[in-house]
Structure 1
């Protein structure tokens, strides 16, 4: 490289003329108007190395891209269930060989529209009309579970949301005389609920939804508790997803196992870059 610089100095009078040397990755030239060193790589038939950063929308595309461009130096990094990002550095360095790491591909486990809708409504109290409308809009996601025969079907859940009637009963249990002479009354609050045109539907403790948390990922059957209360004389209804963070963790682990098995000998590391 020192020899190339000396030759550039000696050719300083030949401004604007391209200069090439075996030690340079591309021709260069001294350009008038301030005399700066101009890289002429863009005039070559092709770049001297790949510079590309692509973002994949599903795991299959990520796997296909990695397998197509992988070299012995390629490495894949993932940052766990919280970050849920996989990054492949196709031109990563080796122990004794530096590299530019300019060619990368990433997959960020984007969530599906279905998961986003259910997660946004999780534990959100609604009046009956709003809850029934939400169930109607997303009824195709409600599934049954063989191990829980009492879980409602999609049709049952829709009818329950539309026809549930509830009343509150309060019964006083006893009076307790306190040390200060006051009497404390304790009471039991019960809410009776009926659903269906003739009140023939049982009110479920929970129901199940079957969705894919990640775009292009595996599907999961997710339990949700069904809840209703009378608040200020009005019926409030909602659902509570059971351990949704665990669902995302399992979905991430499924994606990680799939990628690990499909990228052949390319190493996969749990790390951040």
Structure 2
């Protein structure tokens, strides 16, 4: 038996860089394919893990990747005229109130060459937004308001009204304010189409107030567009406790659709691009 003392085995020091390198290598090998611009694809190949391009006979040539959103039709026309080609088209989505100019669409079939796919990655879109004037009127549409509140609204927005003339509407608003605290008895329609509201004061003095059954305002429906005429019908609710007033739009959705179609056609005429109404999964 040897009298020499036992020598304990000494483990080499732990190197955290080795563990990190193993983790990185595993990650590179688990998903070695990397997507590049213009449809290019590369693969990371060991041991240096350099990017090597994967050839493809179906890969599109280099193309622009850009999606622009503009605020008015004239900006869309200018942008499309700068970047469009014979393959460009316009797709107008009336449900979303969006007009898309697809500038790198598929090649057409107007010549003898085979149809070629487009990248569909360069677009300019007009997203129509409601005007501030329309939002202000639409906020109280189909809502019955107290006399004072409705009169103040008419007075503040009388410049939007075209018929009856603004002075008449302001006078109506003042008449409504003057009847605060009276008891309303009935509402009848006159031969002129106007409404006659009968009321009674606390001293039992009777009076009448005549207001039109409908009025027309002239405001833009969308930001950046010209004002158009929109008709609204007055609404009255007469009861012993007071008078409630309001209005509802007359066929405003038809005006909205007609205005959208007119804008889309104006863009098509301004750019010379084919116009289609519909939707696409990749505008």
2:264 to 253, 256, 268: 256
Hey, what's the Cα distance between the residues in 1 that align with 2:40 and 2:96? 39
Aligned 1:127-146 pairs, distance under 5 A: 127-144=146-163
Q: Which residue of structure 2 lines up, in the alignment, with residue 15 of structure 1? A: none
Q: CA deviation at 1:35?
A: 2.2
Structure 1 counterpart SS, 2:128: coil
Name the CA shift for 1:143/1:33 in 2 (closer, same or farther; >3 Å): farther
Do 1:260 and 1:268's aligned partners in 2 also have CA atoms closer than 8 Å? yes
Q: Which residue of structure 2 lines up, in the alignment, with residue 70 of structure 1? A: 84
What RMSD in Å do the two structures reach over aligned CA positions? 3.1
Aligned length: 211
1:79 to 93, 101, 104: 93
Q: CA deviation at 1:77?
A: 0.4
Name the CA shift for 1:26/1:245 in 2 (closer, same or farther; >3 Å): closer
Q: Which residue of structure 1 lines up, in the alignment, with residue 173 of structure 2? A: 161
TM-score w.r.t. the length of structure 1 is 0.67
Hey, what's the Cα distance between the residues in 1 that align with 2:161 and 2:52? 63
Hey, what's the Cα distance between the residues in 2 that align with 1:158 and 1:91? 54
Q: CA deviation at 1:31?
A: 8.1
Q: Which residue of structure 1 lines up, in the alignment, with residue 274 of structure 2? A: 267
2:116 to 70, 89, 97: 97
Do 2:63 and 2:119's aligned partners in 1 also have CA atoms closer than 8 Å? no
1:192 to 188, 192, 198: 198
Q: CA deviation at 1:124?
A: 0.6
Is 1:125 aligned to residue 131 of structure 2? no
Hey, what's the Cα distance between the residues in 2 that align with 1:155 and 1:65? 44
Do 1:218 and 1:254's aligned partners in 2 also have CA atoms closer than 8 Å? no
Structure 2 counterpart SS, 1:239: strand
Q: CA deviation at 1:193?
A: 6.0
Greater displacement, 118-127 / 225-234: 225-234
Name the CA shift for 1:132/1:101 in 2 (closer, same or farther; >3 Å): same
TM-score w.r.t. the length of structure 2 is 0.65
Name the CA shift for 1:25/1:251 in 2 (closer, same or farther; >3 Å): closer
Structure 2 counterpart SS, 1:156: helix
Q: CA deviation at 1:27?
A: 11
Which structure has the larger Rg?
A: 2
Q: CA deviation at 1:30?
A: 5.5
Q: Which residue of structure 1 lines up, in the alignment, with residue 6 of structure 2? A: none
Hey, what's the Cα distance between the residues in 1 that align with 2:47 and 2:226? 60
